[in-house]
Amino acid sequence: MNPYHVIEMQSWKRATHCQIFRNYIEPSYCVTIELDITRFLEKVRTNGYSFTLALIHTAAKSANEIEEFRYRFLDDQVVLFDRINTAFTYLNPETELFKVVNVEMKDNIDDYMTTAKKTAENQETYFTGPLGNDVFQFSPFPWVSYTHISHTNSGKKDNATPIFNWGKCFERDKKVMLPFSIQVHHSFVDGIHIGKLVDVLQQYLNS
């Protein structure tokens, strides 16, 4: 587990908001937006990258830069992780079943992709155990271009792991657009923070 520090609730500016949403029946919500991946797709093709792994790294790098995406509930306390790793679904085209692969986040995209590809290909089991708190969860949905997506609910209201999805890309006005979904726990993440994430992510995709 990555290093973290426990939040002192009495002095934390978000304590009231956190507690209010923590008591909701459904404290998580999901937003779908469109990303312009025109330049990103060109770079992926030029470098021979896996589109999926490159986007996972780019999105995780972006989310790590925003503090609110690194808060979690742990042992009935609120903690802030120094860094968040990745967990993603990886489909076996023969069985059409997916496995969940955990990969440590790395600053360099090439290092991350090398590790992620090797880990995914070598993992024999579909599930290696419950996901840790210190991950961003990715589940690509590339077969259709959607405008909304929902997720299964385990009933664990303190599960604050953000979930990222994306659908099939499409062309519009000579740009390649991608539906991209972000599910978060409202105890930690408000709309303004999703807006910040989208801005950072789009900047990385453009560069």
In whole angstroms, give the CA distance from residue 83 to residue 67. 10
Domains of the chain: 14-20+27-206 (3.30.559.10)
Q: What is the pLDDT of residues 58-72, one digit of tens each?
A: 999 999 999 999 999
**Model pLDDT, residue 155:** 85
* pLDDT value of position 52: 97
pLDDT over 90 (residue 153): no
Confidence of residue 130 (pLDDT cuts 50, 70, 90): confident
Q: Report d(CA 202, CA 207) in Å as an integer.
A: 9
Q: What's the DSSP call for residue 96? A: T
* Secondary structure string (H, E, C) spanning 3-61: CEEECCCCCCCCHHHHHHHHCCCCCEEEEEEEEECHHHHHHHHHHCCCHHHHHHHHHHH
81-to-17, 47, 71, 129, 158 alpha-carbon distances in Å = 19, 32, 6, 21, 16
Look at residue 22 in the predicted model and tell me its pLDDT: 95
Average pLDDT over residues 2-20: 96
| Cβ–Cβ < 8 Å for 92, 120 | no
Encoded amino acid at 126, one letter: Y
What average pLDDT is seen over the chain? Answer: 96
Position 27 pLDDT exceeds 90: yes
Three-class SS of 157-207? CCCCCCEEEECCCEEECCEEEEEEEEEEECCCCCHHHHHHHHHHHHHHHHC
Q: Which pLDDT score is estimated for 203?
A: 98
For 39-68, what is the mean pLDDT? 97
End-to-end CA distance of the chain: 31
- pLDDT tens figures, 83-120: 999 999 999 888 999 999 999 999 999 999 999 999 99
Residue 166 C-beta-side C-alpha neighbours within 13 Å: 19
Please say if the pLDDT value at position 57 is more than 90.
yes
* DSSP-based three-state secondary structure for 62: helix
- In which band, very low, low, confident or very high, does the pLDDT at 152 lie, cut at 50, 70 and 90? confident
CA–CA gap between residue 187 and residue 162 (Å, rounded): 12
Average pLDDT over residues 134-139: 97
